[in-house]
Amino acid sequence: MVFPGSNCDLDVHHAIRLMGQDVSYVWHTETDLSQYDVVILPGGFSYGDYLRVGAIASYSPVMSAIKEFAYQGGLVLGICNGFQILCEAGLLPGALRANEDLSFHCHDIYVRVEDTDTPFSNQLRTGDVLKLPIAHGEGNYFASEEDMKNLRVIFRYSDSQGNRGGNPNGSVDDIAGISNLSGNVLGLMPHPERAMEELLGSRDGRGIFSSIVAYLKERSGISV
């Protein structure tokens, strides 16, 4: 997906090409997504972050198609600003607030894999520690106790050994990434698409993309 103000769309495109998969840019005015297996909402500053991060994009024309796609069981991945948009659109519970220290954080962090029973994490192991970059000013996840019952924590900020700690933004329960209960919609603040090559510091983001590919191969194997 490309919204006005998206700026990680090229990185995501590159990451998917690295995995040997087909990918195309979809403009935010598109209304039919039925030909796609996965919809990815990239990072950036859609609509200049006006009003609230992700708020305006959550009403762009393509969002009803994305909701329909998700309700049909399609895979939807929101990265950074994409995660913020999914929360604003109600596809994921909770909301993202300004970082606790009010600073924009742009550095590597570690996350611990908490749940591998999703299309986005099936090639990972629980307890795996991934080194991924973050770049956000509003990554401070909040969910009410009620909302916490409607989500699954997939990634938690941790130290390099996978122990609690290393939370860069004040997120409740050290949450870095969540999915809906059925697991087909995932949002995370770190950028796996920027961690695909050793040359760029880490290739730990590959596990998420290879999980998606593995899931889709298995799904088409069964359904065909």
**What CA–CA distance (Å, rounded) separates 107 from 135?**
7
Question: Helix count (H) and strand count (E) of the chain?
Answer: 5, 9
Q: 134: left (phi > 0), else alpha (psi -120 to 50), else beta?
A: beta
Buried b (16+ CB within 10 A) or exposed e, 164-173: eebbbbebee
Determine whether 146 is an active site residue.
Answer: no
Q: Which of 80, 87, 88, 136 is catalytic?
A: 80
Q: Which of 8, 87, 138, 191 is catalytic?
A: 191
- Contacts with another protein by CB under 8 A lie at 51-52, 55, 59, 87-88, 93-95, 97-102, 140, 142-144, 147, 170
Determine whether 80 is an active site residue.
Answer: yes
Determine whether 136 is an active site residue.
Answer: no
Q: What burial class does residue 98 get, using C-beta atoms within 10 Å of its C-beta: 0-12 exposed, 13-18 middle, 19+ buried?
A: middle
Residue 132 CB contacts under 8 Å (≥ 6 apart), including other chains? 108, 109, 110, 111, 190, 191, 192, 194, 195, 202, 204, 205
**What CA–CA distance (Å, rounded) separates 16 from 12?**
6
Place of tokens 């809906």: 180
Q: Is 212 helix (H, G, I), strand (E, B) or coil?
A: helix
Place of tokens 């550095």: 107
Catalytic residues: 80, 191, 193
